[in-house]
Structure 1
Amino acid sequence: MRLRYVFGLILILLGGTVLANALGMADFSPWHLIVVYFWPVVFLLIGLMFFLGARVWSFSRIIMGLAFLAIGGLMTANRAGWLHIPAEKVWTLFWPVLLIVFGLQLLFSSRRDGRSWAILSGISRQHPGWKLRSSDYWTILGGVHLDLRTAEIQDARTTLEVTTVLGGAEILVPDDIRVICTGTSVLGGMQLFERAYGGVYTSHEAANGPVGDSVPVVRIHCTSVLGGVKLMAR
């Protein structure tokens, strides 16, 4: 079942319950419903979709999926009475988990020719002649801007891993190389060439450029949480 159908059913049930409450047919606090029932399910579903919806496996996808499953599981255990943690305390645990996620990426992410990271700032590669090699780029509260049109491609096959939290990624690509992008966005939006997507969770793949043995191929894996991804050919 597609994720949008699942979330659609959840929203209908939530809206119906709130409507029944407004009409005097039920006695539930909307805030109570959202905190207690809605968000645990949302986090668990997002975590599952990082695994079930994977077209290409990457370290960031696995770690992000585990992080959302951990938060959703913690909220569910708290709701079931197995734990006794105030709801606001559960939310404050979300941000330390994200920091741990990025720490794990530093330690265990695949070793490539280059790795760039930034916190409260951005990463930009757009000056003429910059070297395009297989690399990891990730930021917290910042963005990634890559202009492949001005890059010198070093290898016939290049893989880029781009991960942002509370930020976005913008990648410009030329029309004379083959670009294959797998993009995942949580609570944000995504534009892959001419098509745009958005929602609580979305994951899509797109390709652009000529096909041939002599054509360079760049594979891009983008993951964005509370942000967006924009990939454009010019």
Structure 2
Amino acid sequence: MSNTAPTRRIPTSQVLFGALVVLLGVLLLLDSTNVAPTRSLLTYAPSLFVLVGLWAFVQSGFRNVVGPAVLVVVAGAWQLVALGYATVSELVVYWPVLVIAFGLSVVLGQYRSRVATTDDSHDSLFAAFGGVERRNTSKTFVGADLTAVFGGAELDLRDAELTDRPARVNVLALFGGAEVVVPRDWNVKMDVLPILAGASDDRPRRESEHDEIDLVVTGFTAFGGVSVTD
């Protein structure tokens, strides 16, 4: 019997983002129902999104830089205004920084591989105010978490293989889009909740299809879209 301890998976950016949104909602509910005075705590809400951006740096191995950096800068500026250290009029003059960040994302894309490659059995992508693309080549792929907030995330699974079916890809797309590219013969089940958004399997129909489900795409999208292509 093997004594090897199971590998612990660190929380993904999607899990952290969801947990912080839940925390923010709880604080808002306590304040709006007069159960507890949480308005002073809500002043520090922007710092929660700074934390998400910093964690996205770590999760991507510092490969995804521009998107998380913009999130940190925007949330940080919001926090300065909330604490009274600056005013909106003082900070709005720096809006060209966002244009510079976009340009940097284009330039950096020319000096590194267009699509990062990983062989992890479980993948995690986070895109905010930008885009991220990744190709997974794992021989034991089990799932992934994709988060796109004002950005786009693409996961290419055409070189991945499955051992335990179905694999699961969990998607959160808010004002952004997520695309999952799969082998043509995979049977994919879409279980995404769209709110003023779209979720679809855009592959052409095939004459024959096996009954076993290879991949389940779950999650939520609002003002964005989730698609499966080949």
TM-score, length basis structure 2? 0.44
The structure in which a higher percent of residues are strand is: 1
TM-score, length basis structure 1? 0.44
